[in-house]
Amino acid sequence: MSITPGLLPVGLRDRLPPQAEAASRLLHRVIVAIGRHGYDRVSPPLAEFEEGLVGRLKSARARDLLRFVDPVSQATLALRPDITAQIGRIAATRMRHRARPLRLAYGGPVLKLRATQLRPERELLQTGAELIGRDTVAAAIELIDVAIEALETAGVTGITVDLTLPDLVETLAAGPLPLPADAIYAVRSALDAKDAGALGGLGAEAYLPFIAAAGPLDRAMAALRQVPGADALSSRLDGIAAIADAFRDRVTLTLDPTERHGFEYQSWLGFSLFGAGLSGEVGRGGSYTICHSDGREEPAVGFSLYIDPLVDAGLGLEPRRRIFLDAGTDAATAAALRADGWTTIAALDPADDAIALGCTHRLVDGAARSLQATPQDQDA
């Protein structure tokens, strides 16, 4: 097979200046914002043994692995499609003796086997935080607060938090609205797709009102509490109400109790994050459990953010201060300019063109002189 020079696989791309700089800048800002809440950064490897990684990934994510054979061990390795599961491994093994709650942060690339219509990129820059050892309302409020602050630090405005109840069907099926065990998956899928006809065909008409109980949080909560059988969800709804009280003056809050796509491994709470002018969700999170080797399950709550949609929306770009230095400029002078925040571009040849090289200024008689404005004067 002949590959066209410069062609990349579907879903992969080069980040060029200034977007590559913006991505690095945003990742740093987000990680710093998370760290200021006491979350220590860890850095798991890009690839792991397939068997171990599959055991920690849930649902479709286990099928989203790009695999290859390790020439050293001859075992099958897999590139991570998500970092959250790796944080769970670290917490359950190398950091299992650390005091709880354990607060960890991360950031790095992930690679998915296939792209989707909503997200055509296969390689993404993922960052986030995990609070391990708690999945209480207080823990959820802390994590959502950290996520919102991280997005605000990155320049995101008009933030919306869409809440959901991932274990709604399991909770109701075990109580007021019983279902045969073999029908639970089908009912969950029908609710997720908002398919009223499918629910009728499954004999699960009692679940139909939950589809309508979605929208702005206060209205959705009022409708949800009126649905027959919703008393079994009272503790979850009380938790949602407490979360709403913590953030209602800061972000827009919505509720979709039946949304489950992408929340397959979450327990009582899930949430998606959106921003004004951004395409699709920019993050998601919720409560879940980490399985230890001795069979013990540990509660946790966390979130993941994706940097790429922020870069694509033009965030993270900053005006350039690039100064051209003629040949022979004193090294100490150049160092002083860099210490003052300038980017220095040194002439290597008399023919070097300061404007063509993207410089905004030129050092003349020891002073920075502005050059004619060009499209390259700024990152944006």
Q: Tell me: do 120 and 191 sit in the same domain.
A: no
Q: Tell me: do 64 and 78 sit in the same domain.
A: yes
Q: Tell me: do 246 and 296 sit in the same domain.
A: no
Q: In this structure, is residue 79 part of a structural domain?
A: yes
Where the chain has pLDDT below 50, the residues are: 374-380
Q: In this structure, is residue 214 part of a structural domain?
A: yes
Q: In this structure, is residue 60 part of a structural domain?
A: yes
The pLDDT score that the predictor gives to residue 376 is: 44
Q: Tell me: do 217 and 306 sit in the same domain.
A: no
Q: Tell me: do 217 and 326 sit in the same domain.
A: no
Q: In this structure, is residue 189 part of a structural domain?
A: yes
Q: Tell me: do 25 and 124 sit in the same domain.
A: yes
User: Exposed, middle or buried, 84 (CB in 10 Å: 0-12/13-18/19+)?
Assistant: buried
Give me the residues paired with residue 362 across strands.
324, 369
Are the C-beta atoms of residues 371 and 361 closer than 8 Å to each other?
A: yes
Spatial strand order of the sheet with 66-69 comes to 47-49, 76-79, 66-69
Q: Tell me: do 342 and 286 sit in the same domain.
A: no
Q: Tell me: do 287 and 329 sit in the same domain.
A: no
Q: Which residue type sits at 162?
A: D
Query: C-alpha dihedral over 131, 134, 136, 141, to 10 degrees?
Result: -20
Q: Tell me: do 334 and 192 sit in the same domain.
A: no
Q: In this structure, is residue 94 part of a structural domain?
A: yes
Q: In this structure, is residue 17 part of a structural domain?
A: yes
The answer to pTM > 0.85 is: yes
Q: Tell me: do 44 and 138 sit in the same domain.
A: yes
Which residue range forms the structural domain that includes residue 343? Answer: 322-370
Q: In this structure, is residue 59 part of a structural domain?
A: yes
Q: List strand residue ranges (DSSP E) for the chain, in order.
A: 40-41, 47-49, 66-69, 76-79, 102-111, 123-132, 160-164, 215-216, 252-255, 270-274, 283-291, 297-306, 322-325, 343-346, 361-364, 367-370
CA–CA distance, 378 with 186 (Å, rounded to integer): 53
Q: Tell me: do 189 and 253 sit in the same domain.
A: yes
Q: Tell me: do 51 and 104 sit in the same domain.
A: yes
